[in-house]
């Protein structure tokens, strides 16, 4: 059984990797990630600044963070 600490570390690692690889996430800040109890579903949200405005974006995964959805801008 995977400990809660191991799972949390893994999710932080995945979120960091995801945020660091996406070109459109330049200047991303305040990343947050949330999952269901099994970790199958994950939701990431962060903000970034385009030089004028703060923009909030999100993405999700429904297969244990193996693939992530296209980025969705929820504010601009």
The mean pLDDT value for 17-45 works out to 76
Q: Rounded to whole angstroms, how far apart are CA atoms 54 and 8?
A: 27
This model's pTM is above 0.75: no
Residue with the two structure tokens 């199958």: 40
Residue 56: strand pairing partners: 47, 75
**Per-residue pLDDT, 9:** 66
Q: What is the pLDDT of residues 53-75, one digit of tens each?
A: 888 999 999 988 888 888 889 98
Q: Give the tens place of pLDDT for each residue, 6-18.
A: 666 666 666 665 6
Give the per-residue pLDDT at 65. 81
């Amino acid at each position: 059984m995977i400990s809660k600490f191991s799972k949390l570390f893994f999710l932080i690692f995945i979120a960091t990797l995801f945020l660091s690889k996406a070109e459109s996430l330049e200047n991303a800040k305040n990343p947050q990630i949330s999952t269901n109890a099994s970790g199958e579903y994950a939701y990431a949200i962060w903000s970034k600044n385009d030089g004028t405005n703060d923009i909030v974006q999100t993405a999700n995964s429904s297969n244990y963070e193996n693939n992530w959805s296209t980025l969705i801008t929820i504010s601009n």
